[in-house]
Chain A
């Protein structure tokens, strides 16, 4: 029983990280119907920038450079800001010129940006894994993670922190999109860009803002992921990026609570599948792709997605 409980905790933990990246996919898809494959790389930069801000010095382009040595919380906020701006720049340079082109062109542009960012990261940080510094308030003096146990289920303080951050971020985003003026402009642009523009909505600004928020969420996920797995490396975004895309589709792409639910479900299904299916740990990634195929075959609008009427 405690083993099943532990596996559920393991799964929820990964699920939270998937959910944070999935929000980026889902918001951008909701508005411009583009799968931004570069989110995995923005996530990776989030982890690297968090590390850069936390350490006293780091090797960049093979040279040792002094760094600010900030605490984790400040570091991750800076990472969110920097990566958010990166997202806006990418939208401006790689996607906006293609907004009225066939959708496949933008998708290919997104893959191009993704490969470019991976190579840039390898040039800057090298291809080795970079260790993530211990976070003092979640670590004991001996360097062990602070943790507690409930009925044999081991939970670290950092895991609790990740769950709280994820839930708060989701609630805030949902409130922002549903209740504020800018959120209403977003939803209007999602339904019909041209009519929204006629009503006085600055569609370009709305899209830029969407990229800013989505990318910042990716950076937040990256910083937390780095903390959970104690490292960052240039290709780290590829796999979580694919998983988050699946989570977004599972929950209903374009739907923020759906991305949250999809992420959590995917994390738990993966953890339980790899624990209890025969040979499951070897096919962990395959489990996620099977889910993607099933959901596209039987419920392409996702768990929470409504069957949207066709856009013009």
Chain B
């Protein structure tokens, strides 16, 4: 009886640990807000809202590093409307509850003109409602959930939605690359699934066929069951919707199964860690990104050099680039308005037309969503470089 008791006890512990693990697998969300409520020659104080500590701290670190490059560049040029640029950090941990507290802090600080941030969609939605009510502009660099911009006129973002990216990538695969038999492997998170669904419907409307669609959970390490099924479908392109830690293993295991298929990764794959972890197996993989640091455009290279100098030679990721763009965009709006006033900046954003950011030309639609071209990079010799074939619009 004792053996059985111990085993049952141990089993309960094992199950409890497993549950705890799954509970931790939450999701983060990022938003940014902008507030303009200062007169000319008043300071241009920016609220940076992101997870700066906790599990998602690496995202916040990129966000802050990109913002600092923008701040230094603006101050070197004499500030915005004569006002010194400064930043105030609001740590939302990627958590919606914390994000609301950060929003209140920023709203109450009347010297703050706008918010660059909230990175994750959940946090952005929670905080966005507060910013809208208070009339403080927020511009999210990275929250992709469709429910964000309908929150109101003060809520903006400069990253494309998952639906927009999914359709664009489907069109690119079928029309530009000429691949018609397509397989999809996706992370079962909201992000991975939403993007995969948009891609799937995009493939059908572009005239291609989805031969296999398989899913996995974030944190999985073995994908051979799914890949074996995909191999049976004989695709000529495999679309991967998820993040690079799983993606590098998917590419390696595909090769071990003798698959030789063109792979296309979503923006979650756009990291220097991908070639580092995936090695030879990810060579030739195409990756969708919101920022291509290998682009020879002088504005981009100036940013990349400044970023590398400030960050031990690390290349900026798209979170850093978008955070930089958010601040430069808001500064441009303030200059157009001739005022560092919260409302004036928000009004000027609505009439900014097309802003040439380092993450691409930014044009807002009537909701405050961005219309932006897709950028595709390819893994070559262990680095991400501009792919020879780009989507045509």
**B21 proximity list for chain A (CB < 8 A):** 238-239
**B232 proximity list for chain A (CB < 8 A):** 3
Residue from the list A107, A149, A239 in contact with B9, Cβ < 8 A: A107
Annotate A153-189 by CB proximity to B: 1 below 8 A, 0 otherwise: 0101001000000000000000000000000000000
Whether the Cβ atoms of A296 and B8 lie closer than 8 Å is: yes
Whole-angstrom distance between the Cβ of A193 and the nearest chain B Cβ: 15
Whether the Cβ atoms of A144 and B280 lie closer than 8 Å is: yes
Annotate B223-248 by CB proximity to A: 1 below 8 A, 0 otherwise: 01110110110000000000001001
Q: Across the two chains, which residue of chain B brings its CB closest to A272?
A: B225
**B231 proximity list for chain A (CB < 8 A):** 3, 6
Q: Across the two chains, which residue of chain A brings its CB closest to B55?
A: A127
In A259-290, the 8 Å CB interface with B consists of 271, 274-275, 280-282, 284-285, 289
Annotate B196-232 by CB proximity to A: 1 below 8 A, 0 otherwise: 0000000000000000001111011110111011011
Whether the Cβ atoms of A10 and B222 lie closer than 8 Å is: yes
**B10 proximity list for chain A (CB < 8 A):** 35, 107, 245
**B283 proximity list for chain A (CB < 8 A):** 143
Residue from A229, A281, A282 having most chain B Cβ neighbours under 10 A: A281
Whether the Cβ atoms of A149 and B280 lie closer than 8 Å is: no
Whether the Cβ atoms of B225 and A10 lie closer than 8 Å is: yes
In B239-263, the 8 Å CB interface with A consists of 245, 248-249, 252, 255-258
Interface residues on A, range: 35 or more
Q: How many A-B residue pairs have CB under 8 A?
A: 131
Q: Across the two chains, which residue of chain B brings its CB closest to A240?
A: B221
In A1-29, the 8 Å CB interface with B consists of 3, 6-7, 10, 13-14
Residue from A149, A231, A249, A301 having most chain B Cβ neighbours under 10 A: A231
Whether the Cβ atoms of B3 and A7 lie closer than 8 Å is: no
In the bound complex, what is the Cα–Cα distance between A149 and B221 (angstroms)? 23
Known interface pairs A231-B248, A242-B18. Does A129 touch B277 (Cβ–Cβ under 8 Å)?
yes
Whether the Cβ atoms of A275 and B228 lie closer than 8 Å is: yes
**A301 proximity list for chain B (CB < 8 A):** 3
Question: Is B17 interfacial (CB-CB < 8 Å)?
Answer: yes
In the bound complex, what is the Cα–Cα distance between A143 and B379 (angstroms)? 15
Whether the Cβ atoms of A231 and B228 lie closer than 8 Å is: no
Whether the Cβ atoms of B252 and A230 lie closer than 8 Å is: yes
**A145 proximity list for chain B (CB < 8 A):** 255-256
Whether the Cβ atoms of B7 and A300 lie closer than 8 Å is: yes
Q: Across the two chains, which residue of chain A brings its CB closest to B19?
A: A289
Question: Is B357 interfacial (CB-CB < 8 Å)?
Answer: no
**Could you tell me how many residues of chain B have their Cβ less than 8 Å away from some Cβ of chain A?**
48
Annotate B265-292 by CB proximity to A: 1 below 8 A, 0 otherwise: 0000000010011111101000000000
In B280-314, the 8 Å CB interface with A consists of 280-281, 283
Whether the Cβ atoms of A289 and B18 lie closer than 8 Å is: yes
In the bound complex, what is the Cα–Cα distance between A144 and B11 (angstroms)? 41
Q: Across the two chains, which residue of chain B brings its CB closest to A33?
A: B6
In the bound complex, what is the Cα–Cα distance between A107 and B228 (angstroms)? 40
Whole-angstrom distance between the Cβ of B263 and the nearest chain A Cβ: 15
Q: Across the two chains, which residue of chain B brings its CB closest to A2?
A: B232
In the bound complex, what is the Cα–Cα distance between A6 and B226 (angstroms)? 11
Known interface pairs A230-B277, A292-B11, A296-B7. Does A281 touch B225 (Cβ–Cβ under 8 Å)?
yes
Residue from the list A129, A156, A236, A293 in contact with B11, Cβ < 8 A: A293
Question: Is A120 interfacial (CB-CB < 8 Å)?
Answer: no
Residue from B3, B217, B281 having most chain A Cβ neighbours under 10 A: B3
Question: Is A136 interfacial (CB-CB < 8 Å)?
Answer: no
Known interface pairs A3-B232, A129-B277, A253-B7. Does A284 touch B256 (Cβ–Cβ under 8 Å)?
no
Whether the Cβ atoms of B255 and A300 lie closer than 8 Å is: no
Residue from the list A37, A147, A231, A300 in contact with B249, Cβ < 8 A: A231
Whether the Cβ atoms of B256 and A282 lie closer than 8 Å is: no
In the bound complex, what is the Cα–Cα distance between A283 and B78 (angstroms)? 57
Question: Is B14 interfacial (CB-CB < 8 Å)?
Answer: yes
Whole-angstrom distance between the Cβ of A249 and the nearest chain B Cβ: 6
**B15 proximity list for chain A (CB < 8 A):** 289, 292
**A249 proximity list for chain B (CB < 8 A):** 7, 11
In B311-337, the 8 Å CB interface with A consists of none
Question: Is A111 interfacial (CB-CB < 8 Å)?
Answer: yes
In the bound complex, what is the Cα–Cα distance between A240 and B9 (angstroms)? 20
Question: Is B188 interfacial (CB-CB < 8 Å)?
Answer: yes
Annotate B62-98 by CB proximity to A: 1 below 8 A, 0 otherwise: 0000000000000000000000000000000000000
Question: Is B13 interfacial (CB-CB < 8 Å)?
Answer: yes
**B392 proximity list for chain A (CB < 8 A):** none
Whether the Cβ atoms of B7 and A274 lie closer than 8 Å is: no
Whether the Cβ atoms of A229 and B18 lie closer than 8 Å is: no
**A245 proximity list for chain B (CB < 8 A):** 10, 14
Whether the Cβ atoms of A230 and B217 lie closer than 8 Å is: no
**A103 proximity list for chain B (CB < 8 A):** 6
Whether the Cβ atoms of B280 and A230 lie closer than 8 Å is: no
Residue from the list B229, B258, B273 in contact with A128, Cβ < 8 A: B273
Q: Across the two chains, which residue of chain A brings its CB closest to B1?
A: A310
Please name 22 pairs of A and B residues whose Cβ atoms are closer than 8 Å in the assembled complex, sorted by A: A6-B228, A10-B224, A33-B6, A35-B6, A103-B6, A131-B277, A134-B280, A143-B283, A144-B255, A144-B280, A147-B258, A149-B258, A156-B256, A239-B221, A275-B225, A275-B226, A275-B228, A275-B229, A292-B14, A296-B8, A300-B3, A308-B3
The 8 closest A-B CB pairs, nearest first, are: A143-B280, A10-B224, A154-B258, A275-B225, A274-B225, A300-B4, A35-B10, A6-B228
Given contacts A111-B17, A310-B3, 5 further A-B contacts (CB under 8 A): A238-B17, A242-B17, A253-B7, A274-B225, A300-B7
Using CB atoms and an 8 Å cutoff, list the residues of chain B in contact with chain A. Answer: 1-4, 6-11, 13-15, 17-18, 21, 188, 214-217, 219-222, 224-226, 228-229, 231-232, 245, 248-249, 252, 255-258, 273, 276-281, 283
